[in-house]
Amino acid sequence: MKCFYIGALLCLIYTFYIIPESCAQLKLYEDFESGVFPSPGWTTANFNSSEGEWKLNGRNTNSGKGCAVSNFSVTGAENYLISKRFIPSHGDSLVFYFKQTFWNNYNDTFKVKISNTDSLPGSMNTILFSFYENVNYPVYSGYGRYSLSLNSYAGQTVWLGFLHKNINGDNIRLDNITVGKAVLYDVSLVENIFPKGKFGTCSVENIIPSAKLRNTGSENITEAINVTYKISGPVNYISTKEILLNAGEEKVVFFDTTFISLPGIYNVKVYSSLPGDPVLSNDTVNSAFEMVNANFGGGQFFNGGYYFSNSTDCAENAQSSPEFSWKDTLNSISLILNGDVNSQIPFTGNTDNGYFSIGNILPQGYSFRYFNQNFDSVFISTNGIIGFKKNNALLSHDPTKINSLFFIQLPAICPFWSDLDFGSGSPAESRLSYKLAGKYLYITFDNAYLKSGALSEYLSFQICLELVNNVSSNSRFSVQYNKESTGEDFLTKYFSNTLRPHFVGFKNTTGSNYLKYRYRDSTGLTDYGTLFNSSVSVEFGQNASLLNNKSSDLNLILKLEAIHPGKDSVQIQIRDTFYPYNILESKKIYPDFDGILKGKFSVPAENYNYYIVVKHRNSIETWSREYGEQFTGFNLNYDFSSDSSSAYGNNVKNINGNYYIYSGDVDQDGLIDLRDITLISNDAQNFLTGYKKSDLNNDGIIDIADLIFCDNNAENFITYKSPLLNNNNNLTGNK
């Protein structure tokens, strides 16, 4: 029993004397991280002014999230920051970091004083060191590190006084104050970099947690130490990495990738594990972030009854949601292409801050109906604002001044309002364009460059406006963000929440009704809608169950006269049923041996008629029946082989009750005649083989078999038929 008590006593002695001595090398440590100012035991005082005393500040710190700042107040003001008492030992030094804010010379002074009497400013009679602006101040762009010996005060109770005297108006910063012997090994967690703050679920493809560390010791850390990142909340996560750090080195550590889709508040703890670390107070950083579901919603009074939903998985509980379907820009009209403006279209401003005025382009009877008003003109800003009345607010490039847009008489949609620049310096193939495609007007920003941004700081987005001929129904509209055509520098800033200010949303004429989908001002995100976790589509409308725009499925059956049941690629066109029957989209598709082909097309919408046109390298161009076809449920099944009436003008060939597309138009001039026969005959005489237009039956040989197909159809004067040949083509259209 006696041995037990002796052992216990030795443990207590070790605990209270040995361990504290190893950890008590620092007699004073202040990094201004606690959020309390002044810290317990510290005081402030100021003379000759009621302003300008030392305060806590979170900007331009030497490390972490806090520093002490003395601001200018009036000429001659003296601002004291006085430490708590401590007893230095022989060999101890005062170490601190000091920074001036402005480069100008204001003739200020900064003095470090000491008292062994009390903490009153009047007792600070000994000056340890004096700094004179423009003489020995640190360079204004960074902190200076200073070390002062306290050997003269070893064993005495002392207080330090940091005095800033304003002469003409600088302010200074003070951070990381320590007193003690030089620490050989110490790792400080400087800050949690990401995630922090507040952002939307599904707004990032993956979360890569990161934190910054610094070796504040005097020796290199040559044996790897562990740094751990821990997230707790609706989803838990932990990741540990091994690192090495040289003396004074800062390093950003990236942890294992994770994905968090559940909304809620998450707590973050980042900590290091350096064996024998003498300063435990700087080993841990705690912070928090919040995930909010901003992927569907709206419908409130101030939204004017408009709802929204996007294509991410986080919108799966919405009544409906769209699919990403980048609309084909074939035959779009360029407004700006690689810095060159289309001079045929009225333009106000320049390629940096400008807008186009576009009217008289919509089909007869159709308009864009928005907040119960019909609009037949559109004004397209280079900075990502779409207006429906002419107004020079469309020249604005600064969404932090959002009221300048909201409080004017301008109905507008902002698919991505920011400071964009289509002038010189934009990426290759930078383009602003529009396209009228049936019942939709598409406006596309391809490689829209952020003004004065990094080399690949650009994005591609597209707004799709639904056109209606029903005056009682407001139009839907959608915005799409194409990740595959967006630069890496832009995406890096997007995923780290460091993008410049931008706004996505819309307003009515007066601004009394609006919807903010995503907004970042100069301080950070305030609305959290997703733009890129992959490529994303966002749709807006007044029926929450009909936000379902997507690509349409076309299922065709067709038989090529000379080839069937063989197969060859065909070009399928989707064309408008209004004169001049524009090609809205075109794709090359390979049918199977039964003549069945399937394709996805981005343009076709519901409740609108389209012509389906088949083009083949040596067959007659064939159109679907007069007045066109509608897609139902974004799907169309169409069979050219079932009946002659399935082709415009019954222009198909009946072979044993099946209907075939005519073969023989080798030169693709729209008729089968002597010129086609001559082309085949010449290639046959030259014994040509391979994949040639003159090889009608696609067997790799041009011979008499091909001539027979062509000759028979030439005798019957086969030509292509379409509404383009109709003398009354202006009367042909949707029924």
Amino acid at 200: G
The 10s digit of each residue's pLDDT in 180-237 is: 876 677 888 888 988 988 889 998 888 899 999 988 777 888 889 999 999 999 999 9
In 3D space, the residue among 158, 161, 53, 71 whose CA is nearest the CA of residue 111 turns out to be 161
- Which residue bears the tokens 């990381």? 176
State how far the Cα of 477 lies from the Cα of 669, in Å rounded to an integer: 40
The strand pairing partners of 613, in sequence order, are 573, 623
Among 145, 180, 215, identify where a domain stops: 180
- Whether the predicted pLDDT of 166 surpasses 60: yes
Identify whether 147 is part of a domain. yes
For all residues of the chain together, what is the average pLDDT? 89
Domain identity same for 191 and 174 = no
- Whether the predicted pLDDT of 397 surpasses 60: yes
CB-based contact 75:145 (threshold 8 Å): no
Helix (H, G, I), strand (E, B) or coil at 542: coil
- Give 172: exposed, middle or buried? Use CB within 10 Å, 0-12, 13-18, 19+: buried
517 or 108, higher pLDDT: 517
Identify whether 13 is part of a domain. no
The model carries a pTM of 0.73
Residue 685: give its domain's CATH number. Answer: 2.60.40.4130
- Whether the predicted pLDDT of 7 surpasses 50: no
Identify whether 10 is part of a domain. no
Average pLDDT over residues 323-340: 94
pLDDT at 495 (0 to 100):
87
Average pLDDT over residues 107-133: 92
Domain identity same for 314 and 420 = yes
The 10s digit of each residue's pLDDT in 603-619 is: 998 889 999 999 999 99
Would you give the DSSP letter of residue 299?
A: -
Average pLDDT over residues 320-348: 94
The 10s digit of each residue's pLDDT in 359-392 is: 999 988 899 999 999 999 999 999 999 999 999 9
Domain identity same for 161 and 268 = no
Report how far apart, in Å, the C-alpha atoms of 488 and of each of 86, 455, 491, 521 are: 52, 9, 5, 22
Among 515, 546, 577, identify where a domain stops: 546
Domain identity same for 609 and 672 = yes
pLDDT at 73 (0 to 100):
61
Average pLDDT over residues 545-560: 95
Candidate from 52-56, 67-71, 265-269, 506-510 with smallest mean pLDDT: 52-56
**Domain count of the fold of the chain:** 4
- Bond prior to 195 in cis (omega within 30° of 0): yes
Long-range (24+ apart) CB contacts under 8 A made by 217-224 are 217/183, 217/184, 217/185, 217/186, 217/187, 217/247, 218/182, 218/183, 218/184, 218/247, 219/184, 219/185, 219/247, 220/244, 220/245, 220/246, 220/247, 221/185, 221/187, 221/245, 221/246, 221/274
Identify whether 1 is part of a domain. no
The 10s digit of each residue's pLDDT in 414-468 is: 999 999 999 866 666 899 999 999 899 999 999 999 999 888 999 999 999 999 9
- Which residue bears the tokens 């207080």? 159
pLDDT at 426 (0 to 100):
60
- Whether the predicted pLDDT of 410 surpasses 60: yes
Domain identity same for 679 and 706 = yes
Phi and psi for 178 in degrees, rounded to 5? -135, 150
The 10s digit of each residue's pLDDT in 570-601 is: 999 999 998 899 999 999 999 888 889 999 99
Q: Are strands 368-370 and 373-375 parallel, antiparallel or unpaired?
A: antiparallel
Domain identity same for 272 and 320 = no
- Whether the predicted pLDDT of 157 surpasses 90: yes
Its domain, for residue 451, covers: 296-546
Average pLDDT over residues 291-295: 93
pLDDT above 90: percentage of residues in the chain: 68
Residue 142: give its domain's CATH number. Answer: 2.60.120.200
The 10s digit of each residue's pLDDT in 670-692 is: 999 999 999 999 999 999 899 99
Domain identity same for 175 and 209 = no
Domain identity same for 449 and 572 = no
Residue 195: give its domain's CATH number. Answer: 2.60.40.10
pLDDT at 169 (0 to 100):
63
Domain identity same for 647 and 723 = yes
Identify whether 606 is part of a domain. yes
- Whether the predicted pLDDT of 6 surpasses 60: no
Identify whether 512 is part of a domain. yes
Domain identity same for 588 and 683 = yes
The 10s digit of each residue's pLDDT in 182-197 is: 667 788 888 898 898 8
Among 123, 146, 180, identify where a domain stops: 180
Domain identity same for 351 and 499 = yes
Amino acid at 124: M
Average pLDDT over residues 501-509: 96
Residues in contact with 18: Cβ distance below 8 Å, sequence separation at least 6, in sequence order? none
Domain identity same for 710 and 613 = yes
Identify whether 7 is part of a domain. no
pLDDT above 70: percentage of residues in the chain: 92
pLDDT at 26 (0 to 100):
75
Identify whether 169 is part of a domain. yes
State how far the Cα of 620 lies from the Cα of 671, in Å rounded to an integer: 7
In 3D space, the residue among 35, 108, 30 whose CA is nearest the CA of residue 76 turns out to be 108
